[in-house]
């Protein structure tokens, strides 16, 4: 079921990770006691117990008491994903669980995938983002209502937070502010903010800033930028998401105003949205999250070389 230990257990002996890699629980119909797992893998019982309790708390495994012994097992019905080959399967299940309002199964799927891959960003780009697009398309087509959309958006937001809670060592020279120009773009901005976080960036996600659209926003944003980028180390990206060209234009103009008053060269503007009628000057414009992440890393590497 699980190919990797939680990130909180990384750095422990490689033998410990075999608890998951050998899929003992997934391949057993009756389950195992902690002592049996310890004996089979030659790992300290205390260490095994610690890992098992972590997975139990996350809903990835179950336990039952037989006398004084705790038996650990994988409950029937819990999907087992082997990534990256099962991304399509996981993406399909994610959308199915969303539409069926099976909230707990959505979270279990994300946790399962999270512990089954070395690249959590792929969970966002290959599973979660397609889910966002799917439910928004259903809403635009009139197949679901606003209440249903809001409920599923909440589930997706919680899915993203499961990954965002990962403890990652950040690089003080890699900084990014993420802004959503409207409510429709918020989940996408949350998704890329979490992706940046997983890639070691210091992230300042502002969410939906549509209520801040006024003539003084550039001053407000400049004050915020000064506080979070005091030492001006490395680079700072300002990434803007918008469902409309007008939204992109407003926030881009605000950033342009800030750049005109700053002598700092390593401040970059990135736009994510469609531009058909309006031409906006930005350092990078694209609708694909992975492409933006790749460009951002390349830009950082060039800035420090």
Q: Mean pLDDT of residues grouped by 10 in the chain (305 residues)?
A: 40 40 53 74 76 67 71 59 83 95 91 84 96 96 97 97 91 96 96 96 96 90 93 92 96 91 82 92 95 96 86
Q: What pLDDT does residue 128 have?
A: 97
Q: What pLDDT does residue 60 have?
A: 60
Q: What pLDDT does residue 29 have?
A: 55
**CB proximity list for 221: less than 8 A, separation 6 or greater:** 254, 255, 258
Peptide bond into 107 cis (omega under 30): no
Q: What pLDDT does residue 263 have?
A: 63
Residue by residue, DSSP assigns the chain as ---S--GGGBTB-HHHHHHHHTTTTTT-SS-EEHHHHHHHHT--HHHHHHHHHHHHHTTSSEEEEETTEEEEEPPTT-----TTTTHHHHHHHHHHHHHTT-HHHHHHHHHHHHTT-S-HHHHIIIIIHHHHHHHHHHHHTTSS-HHHHHHHHHHHHHHHHHHHTS--PPPTTEEEEEEESSGGGHHHHHHHHHHHHHTT-EEEEEEE-GGG-STTHHHHHHHHHHHHTSS--SEEEEEEE-SSHHHHHHHHHHHHHHHHH---S-EEEEEES--SS-----SEE-S-HHHHHHHHHHHHHHHH-
Q: What pLDDT does residue 181 have?
A: 96
- Using CA atoms, how far residue 247 sits from 53, 132, 237, 243, 277, in Å, is 46, 20, 18, 7, 13
CB of 71 closer than 8 Å to CB of 61: no
């Amino acid at each position: 079921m699980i190919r990797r230990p939680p990130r909180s257990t990384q750095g422990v002996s490689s033998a410990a990770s075999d608890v998951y890699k050998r899929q003992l629980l997934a391949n057993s119909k009756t389950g195992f006691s902690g002592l049996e797992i310890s004996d089979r893998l030659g790992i300290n019982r205390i260490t095994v117990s610690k890992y098992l309790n972590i997975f139990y708390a996350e809903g990835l495994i179950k336990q039952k008491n037989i006398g004084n012994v705790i038996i650990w097992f994988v409950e029937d019905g819990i999907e087992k994903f082997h990534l990256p080959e099962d991304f399509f399967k996981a993406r399909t299940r994610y959308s199915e669980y969303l539409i069926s309002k099976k909230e707990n199964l959505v979270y279990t799927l994300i946790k399962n995938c999270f512990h089954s891959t070395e690249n959590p960003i792929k969970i966002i780009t290959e599973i979660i983002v397609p889910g966002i697009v799917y439910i928004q398309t259903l809403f635009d087509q009139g197949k679901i209502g606003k209440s249903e959309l809001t409920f599923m958006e909440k589930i997706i937001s919680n899915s993203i937070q499961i990954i965002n809670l990962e403890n990652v060592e950040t690089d003080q020279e890699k900084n990014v502010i993420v802004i959503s120009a409207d409510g429709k773009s918020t989940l996408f901005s949350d998704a890329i903010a979490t992706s940046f976080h997983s890639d070691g960036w210091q992230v300042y996600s502002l969410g939906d800033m549509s209520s801040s659209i006024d003539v003084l926003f550039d001053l407000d944003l400049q004050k915020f930028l000064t506080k979070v980028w005091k030492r001006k180390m490395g680079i700072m990206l300002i990434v803007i998401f918008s469902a409309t060209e007008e939204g992109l234009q407003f926030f881009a103009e605000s950033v342009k105003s800030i750049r005109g008053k700053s002598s700092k060269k390593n401040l970059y503007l990135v736009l994510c949205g469609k531009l058909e009628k309006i031409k906006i000057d930005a350092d990078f414009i694209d609708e694909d999250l992975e492409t933006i992440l790749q460009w951002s890393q390349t830009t950082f590497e060039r800035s420090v070389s």
